[in-house]
Amino acid sequence: MQKQYPQLLKDALRTNFKIELMELVKNTTKTEGPDPMNKAASNSKKTGIERISGAEAVIKCLLEEQVKTIFGYPGGAIMPIYDKLYSYQKEVHHVLARHEQGAIHAAQGFARVSGEVGVVFATSGPGATNLITGIADAKIDSTPLVCITGQVGSHLLGTDAFQETDVVGISMPVTKWNQQVTKAEDIPEAIAKAFYIARTGRPGPVLLDITKDAQFAELDFHYESCQKVRSYIPNPELEEEQIKAAVELIDNAKRPYVLFGQGVILGEAEEELKAFVEKTGIPAAWTILGLSAMPTDHPLNVGMLGMHGNYGPNVLTNECDVLIAVGMRFDDRVTGNVAKYAKQAKVIHLEIDKSEIDKIVKADVPVLGNAKRSLSALIAAVKPNEHKDWLQRFHDLAAIEKEKVIDTDLYPTKEGLTMGEVIRRVNEHSKGDAVIVTDVGQHQMIACRYAKFNSSKSNITSGGLGTMGFCLPAALGAKLAKPERQVVAVIGDGGFQMTFQELGMALQTGAAVKIIVLNNEFLGMVRQWQQMFFDRRYSSTEMVNPDFVALAKSFSIAAVKVEDRDALDKAIKTMMEYDGPYFLEVRVEKEDNVFPMIPTGSAVDEIRLD
C-alpha cells in the first residue's frame, strides 16, 4: 500500500476539487486482498445484477444519463466501446465526424443549443490530442462536455506504446476535471461523477481516459447517478448581507448599468434578467456569449460590449455610477485597458464561480451564486424605478453610430457587397427565430452586432478561445440537437477551410444546416489590423481559395455563389426555404473593416468609429 501513496497524491492534486487523500485511500483499499472475481460472479446470479464488459458499461452508463447522441471517431484503443455501441444503435445515435476536432466542436454546438451535456468519443494518441483545442474552447466558454478517450492497456502505460499519449496530463489545464480509469469496476462511478461535474455549477468539459484492458474486463454492472463530490460546492448559498448591499446601491443609483454574459443562459435566468431590468429601468448590454439571453429588440437592450461592440455601451461604461455585472467575467475584449475601466463606478458582480470575483475588476459588492437565484433575490428587494435621461444617453450615441457605421454596413451604396447586408437579409427571412452559428473573425463581429434574436440559446460562437474552424461542425451539432430550428452557419473563407471536411458529416446525417461563406479572399480580421497598425503590410493574409461551390457540390450539397446585390435576396430566400443542407458563397468587399473598434491598450471610451 505504501508504494501507491505518491500516485494517490498525484491523482488528488490533478482534480479541480481538492478531494481528500484519505477518501482516495479508502476507495483504493476496497480492491485490495484476494481477487473477488469468483465470489462476485456467484453473487450476481443470486441478485440478478448483470455482468458485462467495461466497454458495454460505458454505453449503459451513458443511457442512464439520458444520452441520445454521441459524436466521435473510432480507433484501436476505443474499439471495444465502439463494438458494444453497435448493439445499441436504436438507443443512441453516433455521429461520425471527419476529424476529432470536428467531433468536439459538434458536441459543443449540441450542448450550447440544447443545454444538455455533449458527449465525445476518441481513440488514444492523436485521436485524443485532436480533442484538445475543442476542450480548451469548451473550458473557457463554460460548455458542458464529457469526453471519453480510449487508452492503451494499463500494463503499457508509460512505455511509449503505439498511440500512447498522456492525455490526462495534457488535458489537465483545460478540463474542469479528468481521470484515467484502469479497472472496469470503476467505470460507472467515474462516468456518474463526470456528468455531475460537467453540468453543475459553472459547466465545463470533463475527460475520462479508459484503458483497453478496463474496456475488455468484466464487472457487475450497477449505476448510481452522482449527487455530490466532496469539497465541490457547485451552487454556493446566497449571502443576505451582499444582497442588501447590492439593493442599496441599485436603489440609490442615478446612472446604473447592467452588463450580462453567458452566465444568464447557463443559469436559466433569462426571465429573471428581463424582470430585473424592467422593474428597475436599467439599460443592459451584453457580451457576445450573453447575446440572445435577452431579445435584441427589447427597449432596455442597448447593445454589444467590447472591442467591436456598440458605441454607447462602451463609452457609457465609463460614465455609469453603478455597474451590475451578471454572469460575465470581465474579459479583456470587454474591458479594454482595465486600468481605465469604470473607475468612477461601484461594481456589483453576480457570479457563480468564486475564482472570477475580483480576478480582473474589483467588486464593491460580490454576490456569489447562481444568476437565477441572485436576480430573483434582487427583484424581490429593489424598488421600481426608471432612468429615462440616462437611457436617452444610449439612444443619442446609438444615433451617432447609426449614421457613421450601421447604415453603411447594412445599406451600402458602394458596388461591392458587405457582410452587414448579408446578415440583414438573413434577419429578414429568419424573423429573429434562427440559431446563428459563427466562426471567428470579421464576419463573427458583424453577425454578433447585427443578427436578431427572439429567444435564448440562439447565438453560438467561440468566445474566449476564438477558435477558427469552430462554426461548421458546431452548426451541425446544433442542428442535430434541435432539428426543428433553423440553423444558419456564417463562416469566413479562412475558418471554413480549417474544418470543411465536416461537410461529410452533413452528407452522412442530412443535417439541414444553411451555410454561408463570406468570402473576401483574406484572413480579414488580421488584415484589418495590418491595415490599421502595420502600414498595410499584408503578410500572409491574402488567400487563394478553391472553388467553394464545386467543393460543396462534391459532398452532394446544393450550392450557389452570389457576387452582386440583385441576386442576394433571392439566394438567401432560396437557401432558407430549401429542404436540406445548403451552401451559399457570398463574395464580399475584400478590404471592408469592422467598426466601431477599441484599439489594443485603449480604454472603452476611446472607441473609434472609423
CA distances from 219 to 39, 58, 222 (A): 12, 11, 9
Per DSSP, 294 falls in state S
- Selecting among 304, 525, 575, 597, the annotated active-site residue is 525
**Apex 349 CA angle, 347 and 350, nearest 5:** 150
Phi, psi angles (nearest 5°) of residue 347: -110, 125
- Residue 593 sits at φ, ψ, to 5 deg, of -110, 160
Active site residue 501: no
The span from the CA of 213 to the CA of 154, in Å, is 7
Ramachandran class of 76: left when φ > 0, alpha when ψ lies in -120 to 50, beta otherwise: alpha
527 vs 136: CA distance, rounded Å: 26
Provide the CB-side half-sphere exposure for 87 (13 A, CA): 10
- The alpha carbon of 174 is separated from its chain's Cα centroid by a whole number of angstroms, namely 13
Instruction: Given the residues 56, 71, 84, 100, select the one marked as catalytic.
Output: 100
Q: Is 442 a catalytic residue?
A: no
Q: Are the CB atoms for 122 and 151 separated by under 8 Å? A: no
Selected catalytic residue, list 139, 176, 193, 212:
212
419 is catalytic: no
Asked if residues 98 and 468 have their Cβ atoms less than 8 Å apart, the reply is no
- Which member of 20, 23, 162, 563 is catalytic? 162
Tell me how far apart the alpha carbons of residues 216 and 80 are, in angstroms, rounded to a whole number.
7
Of the listed 4, 163, 501, 531, which one is catalytic?
163
CA pair distance 117, 434, nearest whole angstrom = 22
Burial label, 531 (beta-carbon count in 10 A; 0-12, 13-18, 19+) = middle
Q: Distance between the two ends of the chain, CA-based, in angstroms?
A: 68
On whether the CB atoms of residues 109 and 477 are closer than 8 A, the answer is: yes
Does the N-terminal peptide bond of residue 596 adopt cis geometry, omega within 30 degrees of 0?
yes
CA 74 – CA 95 distance, rounded (Å): 11
Residue 582 is classified by DSSP as: E
User: What CA–CA distance (Å, rounded) separates 264 from 290?
Assistant: 7
Q: CB–CB of 419/446 below 8 Å?
A: yes
Catalytic annotation on 162? Answer: yes
Whether 241 sits among the annotated catalytic residues: the reply is: no
Smallest CA-to-CA distance from 185 within 350, 37, 398, 379 is with 37
Catalytic residue positions?
Answer: 100, 162-163, 212, 525
